[in-house]
A and B are shown apart, each in its own frame.
Chain A
Amino acid sequence: MASISFELVTPEGLKLQADVYEILVPTPNGQIGIFPHHMPLINIVTPGVISIRKREGDTDDNLEHMATSGGLMEIDGKRARLLADTAERAEDINEMHAKEALERAIEMQKTAKDQVSLAEATSIIEQSTARLRVAELKRKKRRS
């Protein structure tokens, strides 16, 4: 079975190391899927949801989802490595907190006076949205 070795490294340590079949990552040009034998590629990962399909036959319900606030993806043909600022599994996400943070950040974005606080608010919005999305996917999976 074809697989690609995938490593997810964050400042909090190694979050994931596994041979997987498909990795879906958000990029500035939309989501891309990485399969085994992908051509060498270095790309920017934007804040959003990373989805991992472990085996070829796995359905979408069995994808593993993680929320990230962005980073750098490197692929050399055999291995894929994601250097991310953060990566959180659904278990590590507190939905309430994420929702509150999102509301606060939206408020902050409206009242932002300078570029720095505007950028900070935007990045919190993006990260909270990704977190909520992962939590939602997890809930959907449980129900089905």
Chain B
Amino acid sequence: MAKAQAIRRRIKSVKNIHQITKTMQMVAASKLHRCQEAALRSRMYSYTAREALSRLRKIVPGDLHPLFAKREVANELLIVFTSDRGLAGALNGNIFRKLITHIEENPTIKVKTIIIGQKGGQFVSKIKDRIEPVGLYTNWPSEPTTVDLRPIVSTAINLFTENQIDRVSVLFTDYVSTIRQTATLHTILPIDPETIAPSKIQMEINEDTTFEPSPEEVLKFILPRLIEMQIYQANLEAIASEQAMRMMAMKNASDNASDIMDDLSLTYNTVRQAAITQELSEITSGADATA
């Protein structure tokens, strides 16, 4: 009977786990809904902004703004979006793998990082000899605004214009759909008209476009905004991905817990039945002996 009791205890603990993972799944699902909406809403703006950047870059001379400057890449800044909490499937693992691959593929480039998320902070502290952390932001809001990102954006722009950095990229998890999210590395500075342009360009590129008040003023006004927007969009995608992956991970965990519960119940019943049968046969054999 001791065995049956042990199984019963295990069933109880698995049931608790099931309850917790189920709740986490529901929480992630409801958060996902909001984050997904936010990411999809601003996607159009972000695409249009990228198109505008690409057009601008093609119309004006390349030396008109410091953010257009293409240099030999010796120092690179990576803005890495990870999560503050774990239990989100392969979310952070995929990002870290991409980060390591990137470092190994570019041995001559000195990589500096700005990390968003506790998990990323823990990871880079382990590979300090290969990258140089510049900034770490933890307890990131679950619904960030462009204001939250401003210090990151201005750091990136300043380092780039001061020639301390020759390239700025964002590493984030792109939210493709609820079941598909991919770790993506995207270069945002210098502004390259080819890589930045979305797949379909809607507006014509006219060489004789007029600028009001002047090309310099327009660029000075709009470039920081468009760059901020790209980083913001990456952040929204990353957050939506985090919730989607957590939801899936927790769904799998709940399903597993259910399976284990079923298995354990079956074993428990068998053991219990065996015990009863044994007891019965003991009683009958005892009765036979006294008769």
Residues of B within 8 A of A81 (CB): 48, 52, 203
Contact between A78 and B210, CB atoms less than 8 A apart: no
**Assembled-state Cα–Cα distance A74/B203 (Å):** 9
With A11-B41, A13-B45 already in contact, 16 other A-B pairs whose C-beta atoms are closer than 8 Å: A9-B44, A9-B48, A13-B42, A13-B44, A27-B212, A39-B208, A40-B204, A41-B211, A43-B211, A43-B212, A43-B218, A72-B225, A74-B55, A79-B202, A79-B203, A83-B52
Beyond A11-B41, A29-B212, whether A83 also contacts B48 by CB under 8 A is yes
- For the complex, is B229 an interface residue (Cβ under 8 Å from A)? yes
Residues of A within 8 A of B108 (CB): none
State the Cβ distance, A108 to closest chain B Cβ, in Å: 15
**Assembled-state Cα–Cα distance A74/B211 (Å):** 10
Contact between B45 and A11, CB atoms less than 8 A apart: yes
- Contact residue range for chain B? 20 to 34
Residues of A within 8 A of B229 (CB): 11
Closest to A32 in B: B212
**Assembled-state Cα–Cα distance A13/B236 (Å):** 14
Residues of A within 8 A of B107 (CB): none
- For the complex, is B213 an interface residue (Cβ under 8 Å from A)? yes
Which B residues from 212 to 249 make CB contacts under 8 A with A?
Answer: 212-213, 217-218, 221-222, 225, 229, 232
Contact between A39 and B210, CB atoms less than 8 A apart: yes
State the Cβ distance, B45 to closest chain A Cβ, in Å: 5
Q: Pick the most buried of B45, B211, B222: most chain A CB atoms within 10 A of its CB.
A: B45
Beta-carbon contacts of B37-65 to A below 8 Å, as 1s and 0s?
Answer: 00001101100110010011001000000
Beyond A42-B211, A44-B221, A77-B206, whether A11 also contacts B42 by CB under 8 A is yes
Contact between B203 and A76, CB atoms less than 8 A apart: yes
- For the complex, is B139 an interface residue (Cβ under 8 Å from A)? no
Contact between A44 and B206, CB atoms less than 8 A apart: no
Beta-carbon contacts of A36-69 to B below 8 Å, as 1s and 0s?
Answer: 0001111110000000000000000000000000
- For the complex, is B122 an interface residue (Cβ under 8 Å from A)? no
Contact between A10 and B209, CB atoms less than 8 A apart: no
Beta-carbon contacts of B59-79 to A below 8 Å, as 1s and 0s?
Answer: 100000000000000000000
State the Cβ distance, A19 to closest chain B Cβ, in Å: 15
Q: What 9 A-B pairs have minimum CB-CB distances, sorted nearest first?
A: A43-B212, A40-B206, A40-B209, A11-B42, A76-B204, A76-B203, A13-B41, A11-B45, A72-B222
State the Cβ distance, B258 to closest chain A Cβ, in Å: 40
A-B contact pairs, 27 of them (CB 8 A): A11-B42, A11-B45, A11-B146, A11-B232, A13-B42, A13-B45, A28-B217, A29-B212, A29-B213, A39-B208, A40-B206, A40-B209, A40-B210, A41-B210, A41-B211, A41-B212, A42-B56, A42-B209, A42-B218, A44-B221, A74-B203, A76-B206, A79-B203, A81-B48, A83-B45, A83-B48, A85-B225
Closest to A70 in B: B221
- For the complex, is A14 an interface residue (Cβ under 8 Å from B)? yes
- For the complex, is A114 an interface residue (Cβ under 8 Å from B)? no
Residues of B within 8 A of A91 (CB): none
Residues of B within 8 A of A83 (CB): 45, 48-49, 52
Which A residues from 65 to 124 make CB contacts under 8 A with B?
Answer: 72, 74, 76-79, 81, 83, 85
**Assembled-state Cα–Cα distance A32/B213 (Å):** 12
Residues of B within 8 A of A9 (CB): 44-45, 48
